[in-house]
């Protein structure tokens, strides 16, 4: 029996890429691959890329350049590029980096075994199609090994919103929802292997239509699975936050009180230029309805500053929206152009102005985050313990509001779900004691 080949996957970007990397490793397992944590001894390297951040493609080319010495030392080493940069760049990757053996887009990675076989035969392998078949249906059954207590589960891919700054509709394609029966089957399998918390993933997850009741209907069926203690979902669009999903936040105990709901700007003029199809006012009213259903919900969001045409007055409206909502967590970025998107062709805001606005926004968001955390002190929360801490006897887990919580609890095991009284708030975490 031949020795197993070693597979190294480096994952960039969002949680969906984390899930995709897991499935790629599983797809290659029948070809004799086992995962390794080091590229140095790998027989195959795959970069699972993201196209959201600035200069994403150039960072991939830079990373590939560092693998040249490994390829020179081991001519049998195969190097692949997957994900959204692979979808966007295609043949250009192989042209610029001849050491790359295969390129596969995010909708085609179920074909990885055939692509790897082609590369092993000495031929370049490229697949950036949007195939008609459901890749999830063609992937192998998931292995039965024990899992960490939290897991991601992709239920929806692609986006039909065409925001002016975003490449997702071009790299992930149109919205596609997995059938509920397959999602529920995979969820039950994860629970059988030790998973207690599942985060449902999608580029626009609340547009999920694989269940007659939409995402809310899927969540209610998932909540009936014995052993599954927690359900989360990300990322959502305000326009798809329907009444049923709002009601689920108030009625489904297993649906955690945390919601990531990006707004991007507080200026209606900028939102229209972004093609967001909602207003700042409608977003704030939506938040009020969600909080009426679930008063203790922690809100997270995304903001882009310096979008083409944004004025100081527009930016002040963004700050006003942040003040009105009060976020417990947020992600904020300077606008950076993505080739092929409508906004990339517009006149850009000066970089120094973007830097200044980002610093002011992040200072406000940081104050809000700390205030929300400080108010947790004295409260009792549910914590799912995920790993040991750095100190002896210390365990680390996530609260129902997704805060990291450190507890001196040597008697607690990974996967335990325990009540914890919060005793202290640090910049990015909480500390507590078992109740």
* Binding-site positions: 14, 50, 84, 159, 163, 166
What is the torsional sign of CA 210, 215, 221, 226?
positive
Cis peptide before 279 (omega within 30 of 0): no
Q: Which of 271, 372, 387 is nearest to 327 (CA)?
A: 372
Q: Is 258 helix (H, G, I), strand (E, B) or coil?
A: strand
Residue 281: CB partners within 8 Å, gap ≥ 6? 268
Give the count of beta carbons closer than 10 Å to the beta carbon of residue 242: 14
Burial tier of 312 (Cβ tally within 10 Å: 0-12, 13-18, 19+): exposed
C-alpha–C-alpha distance, residues 297 and 259, integer Å? 7
C-alpha–C-alpha distance, residues 199 and 188, integer Å? 14
Burial tier of 363 (Cβ tally within 10 Å: 0-12, 13-18, 19+): exposed
C-alpha–C-alpha distance, residues 98 and 76, integer Å? 14
Extract the annotated binding site for [4Fe-4S] cluster.
Answer: 14, 50, 84, 159, 163, 166
C-alpha–C-alpha distance, residues 140 and 12, integer Å? 23
Secondary structure letter of residue 305 according to DSSP: E
Q: Determine contact, residues 404/429, Cβ cutoff 8 Å.
A: yes
Task: Determine the straight-line distance between the first and last CA of the chain, rounded to whole angstroms.
Answer: 53
C-alpha–C-alpha distance, residues 32 and 46, integer Å? 15
The two beta strands, 5-11 and 380-388, are unpaired
103, β-bridge pairs: 81, 126
Which segments within 28-142 are labelled E, that is strand?
33-35, 44-49, 78-83, 102-104, 125-127
Q: Determine contact, residues 135/63, Cβ cutoff 8 Å.
A: no
CB-based contacts of 95-98 (< 8 A; 24+ apart in sequence)? 96/61, 97/61, 97/64, 97/65
Residue 345: CB partners within 8 Å, gap ≥ 6? none
């Amino acid at each position: 029996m031949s020795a197993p080949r070693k597979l190294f996957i480096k994952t960039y970007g969002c949680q969906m890429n984390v899930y995709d990397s897991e499935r790629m490793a599983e797809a290659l397992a029948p070809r004799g691959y086992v995962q390794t944590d080091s590229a140095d001894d790998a027989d195959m390297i795959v970069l699972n890329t993201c196209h959201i951040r600035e200069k994403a493609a150039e960072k991939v080319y830079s990373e590939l350049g560092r693998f040249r010495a490994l390829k020179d030392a081991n001519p049998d080493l195969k190097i692949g590029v997957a994900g959204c940069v692979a979808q966007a760049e295609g043949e250009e990757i192989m042209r610029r980096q001849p050491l790359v053996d295969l390129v596969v887009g995010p909708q085609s990675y179920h074909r990885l075994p055939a692509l790897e076989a082609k590369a092993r035969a000495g031929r370049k392998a490229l697949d950036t199609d949007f195939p008609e078949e459901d890749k999830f249906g063609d992937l192998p059954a998931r292995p039965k090994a024990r899992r960490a207590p939290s897991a991601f589960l992709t239920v929806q891919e692609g986006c039909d919103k065409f925001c002016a700054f975003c490449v997702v509709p071009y790299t992930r394609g149109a919205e596609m929802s997995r059938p509920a029966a397959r999602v529920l089957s995979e969820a039950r399998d994860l629970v059988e292997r030790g998973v207690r918390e599942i985060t449902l993933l999608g580029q626009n997850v609340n547009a999920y239509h694989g269940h007659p009741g939409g995402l809310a209907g899927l969540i209610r069926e998932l909540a009936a699975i014995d052993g599954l203690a927690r359900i989360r979902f990300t990322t959502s669009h305000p326009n798809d936050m329907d009444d049923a999903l709002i009601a689920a936040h108030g009625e489904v105990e297993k649906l955690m009180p945390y919601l990531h709901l990006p707004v991007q700007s507080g200026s209606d003029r900028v939102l229209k230029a972004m093609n967001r199809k909602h207003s700042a006012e409608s977003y704030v009213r939506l938040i009020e309805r969600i909080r009426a259903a679930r008063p203790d919900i922690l809100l997270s969001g995304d903001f882009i500053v310096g979008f083409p045409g944004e004025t100081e007055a527009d930016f002040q409206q963004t700050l006003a929206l942040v003040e009105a909502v009060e976020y417990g967590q947020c992600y904020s970025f300077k606008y950076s152009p993505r080739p092929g998107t409508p906004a990339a062709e517009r006149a850009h805001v000066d970089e120094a102005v973007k830097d200044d606005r980002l610093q002011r926004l992040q200072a406000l968001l940081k104050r809000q985050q700390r205030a929300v955390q400080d108010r947790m002190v004295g409260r009792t929360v549910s914590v799912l313990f995920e790993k040991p801490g750095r100190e002896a006897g210390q365990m680390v887990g996530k609260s129902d509001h997704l805060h990291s919580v450190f507890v001196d609890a040597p008697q607690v095991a990974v996967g335990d779900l325990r009540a914890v009284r919060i005793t202290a708030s640090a910049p990015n975490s909480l500390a507590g004691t078992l109740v």
